[in-house]
Amino acid sequence: MNNGLAKIARDGLWDNNPGLVQLLGLCPLLAVTGTLVNGLGLGLATLLVMMASNITVSLIRNLVRSEVRIAVYVLIIASYVTAVELAMQAYFYDLYKILGIFIPLIVTNCAIIGRAEAFASKTTPLNAATDGLFMGLGFTAVLVVLGGMRELIGMGTILAQAHIMFGEAARNITVQFSETHDVFLLAILPPGAFIGLGLMIAVKNVIDRRMAAKEILSQTQVVSSPSQA
């Protein structure tokens, strides 16, 4: 069982990452990652919705007939998203104003309904919750890295406007790397998002290939070492 959960976690974070492998939910992913904080905000909102909907879908998996299941999933996800949107408006108002339309658009994030249909509807609530958590974390990580990268290259800062998420105390945690206010526009504009995501996918593939090569190498060593002896 523990092994199963570890596999689920690994899938969500790396092997089957929604942003880098499944390439789902690209619309918000590309649109809001102008800064690290924006990416983090949308990522956490998505994570919340994904966990909640996964658990719910798993709980009702024997109750809902297959003819209406997609409609039911959409209903569940839409309700959660609306609830999260309202909560965000109540507790992170400034962030809500920036993320704006992309919060309601979480409903259309294929990654969420995809996990509900492909995974949560066929497994226990515990597995479903784990999957939601780690898929959400994987998605958030991609948003944060892409947002941080674009912010750093585009504006020379990291964690700009952190106070809209972490409160006034965080106003000064912004790291300013370049003194001038010159901006590298390409990184901030939509093409920068595509290029950045493309680079991230490329890097992931390179790492995967290296790891696979290492694994093969170590296996052959294991096989060949007794014969040497």
Partner 1 sequence: MRNTIISAIILSLFAIIGTALVSFTYDATREKIKTNQRMALLRNLHSIIMPDEHDNDIFTDVVMVNNPTLLGSDKPIPVYRARKQGKPVAAVIASVAPGGYNGNIHLLVGIYQDGSLAGVRVVRHIETPGLGDSIDEQKSDWILGFRGKSLLKPQKSSWKVKRDGGEFDQFTGATITPRAVVKAVYNSLVYFKQNRELLFRPMPEPMPDMRPIPDIKPGQKPADAQQETMQP
CB closer to partner 1, 9 vs 32: 32
Cα-based distances in Å from 200 to 8, 23, 111, 161: 22, 12, 18, 24
CB of 57 to partner 1, least distance (A): 11
Q: Which stretch binds partner 1 (CB under 8 A): 57-65, 127-135, 170-178, 209-217?
A: 57-65
179 binds partner 1 (CB under 8 A): no
64 binds partner 1 (CB under 8 A): yes
Per-residue tokens: 130: 């784990």
67 binds partner 1 (CB under 8 A): yes
Site for partner 1 in 9-38 (CB under 8 A): 34
175 binds partner 1 (CB under 8 A): no
Q: Is 44 in contact with 140 (CB distance < 8 Å)?
A: yes
Q: Among 6, 175, 185, 207, which residue interacts with partner 1 (rule: CB under 8 A)?
A: 185
Q: Is 131 in contact with 8 (CB distance < 8 Å)?
A: yes
98 binds partner 1 (CB under 8 A): no
Q: Among 175, 183, 203, 207, which residue interacts with partner 1 (rule: CB under 8 A)?
A: 183
DSSP, residue by residue, 145-196: HHHHHHHHHHHSEESTTTHHHH-GGGGG-PEE--SS----HHHHSHHHHHHH
The residue written with tokens 């996990």 in the block is 115
Give Dmax (Cα) for the chain. Answer: 69
Residues lying near partner 1 in the complex (CB under 8 A) are found at 34, 63-65, 67-68, 71-72, 75-76, 78-80, 82-83, 86-87, 89-91, 93-94, 97, 154-155, 161, 181, 183, 185, 188-189
